[in-house]
Amino acid sequence: MGKKFAVIVGASALALAACSSDSDDSSGGGSGGDAVASQYDLSGVDLAIGSKDFDEQLILGQMMVQAYEAAGANVDDKVNLGGTAVAREALLSGEIDMYMEYNGTGWTVHLGQEDPSFDPEELTSGVRDLDAENGIVWVDRSPFNNTYGFASSPAATEANGGPFTLKSMMEYVRDNPDAVVCMESEFPDRPDGLILTETHAGIELPDAQQNILDTGVIYTETANDNCDFGEIFTTDGRIPALGLTLVEDPGVNILYNISATIREETYDANADAYDAITAAILEPLDNLKMAELNARVSAEGEEPAAVAKDYLVEQGIIAG
């Protein structure tokens, strides 16, 4: 009789433990009322959410789609609209209500300004103030900065004993005539391209040491030591995936931190929700985290929507 009772108690304890474990697993992702998105009621709100057409933008766009759906909004998923001009025009025309945009792009491309600040908050504030005249609100700002940069090959990094700076990279190329820097066709002539590094280092890169390649090829050729250095985007997922090393930038290249850009009439109707949800999405995203998420799409072939969902659950923005 005592043995039978012990078995029943033991079975009950296991059942309770299983229930407790299930509960703990779900709450780890911000379940139910604990999730950030669930704190806001956007039921009845129609939102058209867009993005540009590359991996990072697809992930960020899906983060917004899923977060605002979790807040109860009726979301029209227009992620993957096209390039910068297409996404911006869709926002201005009212085809979409929001998409993620970079402060450097806002300043130089959309607003036609020169001499951007190299302070992330100052640049974003400047863009925010000027774009308000167009009825566009810039909400929050990511720590990550997806700017132009360079990565060094495994062999060059080993020869240097660790990461290069932009100046030491240019000195290495000057002192090693066989060294090659691989770049996209536009980069040597862009005002925000190679000239910034040359001016910073006080060293010009000879044409004979420039190799012009397509973007994707630059990463693989640098990883294979066929390029000593390759021009890259600093949050590209192929950097960690291929074992490349970022060249350290002391603040030479123009900033490209990201914010949510939202039509003013949309924003004003639910400002608190947009502020809180955007902050929850963007503020944990440093360069390393964004590169890891990008790598899951560009290097591992995962779907942007799945990567976005994992991140939102991990950050407690939506329920798991």
Instruction: Kindly state the percentage of the chain with pLDDT values over 70.
Output: 90
234-257 pLDDT, tens digit per residue, is 989 899 889 999 999 998 999 999
Residue 14 has pLDDT above 70, yes or no: no
The pLDDT of residue 186:
82
CATH of domain 33-145+256-314: 3.40.190.10
Residue from 107, 144, 106 nearest 311 by CA: 144
Residue-range domain boundaries for the chain: 33-145+256-314, 148-246
SS3 label, residue 169? helix
Residue from 239, 70, 64, 84 nearest 150 by CA: 239
Confidence of residue 11 (pLDDT cuts 50, 70, 90): very low
Q: How far apart are CA 193 and CA 187, in angstroms?
A: 5
Average pLDDT over residues 135-162: 97
Residue 1 has pLDDT above 70, yes or no: no
Tokens of 227: 């390029």
The pLDDT of residue 237:
86
Tokens of 114: 């020169």
Sheet holding 245-246, edge to edge: 210-212, 181-183, 229-233, 148-152, 245-246
Q: H-helix or E-strand containing 232? A: strand 229-233
The pLDDT of residue 283:
97
The pLDDT of residue 26:
38
Residue 224 has pLDDT above 50, yes or no: yes
The residue type found at 269 is: A
Residue from 258, 233, 257, 255 nearest 244 by CA: 233
The pLDDT of residue 46:
98
88-133 pLDDT, tens digit per residue, is 999 999 999 999 999 999 998 899 998 999 999 999 999 999 999 9
Residue 15 has pLDDT above 70, yes or no: no
256-298 pLDDT, tens digit per residue, is 999 999 999 999 999 999 999 999 999 999 988 998 999 999 8
3-class SS string, 8-76: HHHHHHHHHHHHHHHHHHHHCCCCHHHCCHHHCCCCCCEEEEEEECCHHHHHHHHHHHHHHHHCCCEEE
The pLDDT of residue 44:
96
In the chain, how long is the greatest CA-to-CA distance?
Answer: 91
168-214 pLDDT, tens digit per residue, is 999 999 999 999 999 999 889 877 889 999 999 999 999 999 999 98
The pLDDT of residue 218:
96
Radius of gyration of the chain (CA): 24
pTM score above 0.95: no
16-75 pLDDT, tens digit per residue, is 333 333 434 433 455 557 999 999 999 999 999 999 998 999 999 999 999 999 999 999
Q: How far apart are CA 26 and CA 313, in angstroms?
A: 9
In CATH terms, are 33-145+256-314 and 148-246 the same topology?
A: yes
Residue 220 has pLDDT above 80, yes or no: yes
SS3 label, residue 224? coil
115 vs 9: which has the higher pLDDT: 115
Q: Which CATH superfamily is domain 148-246 in?
A: Osmoprotection protein (prox); domain 2 (3.40.190.120)
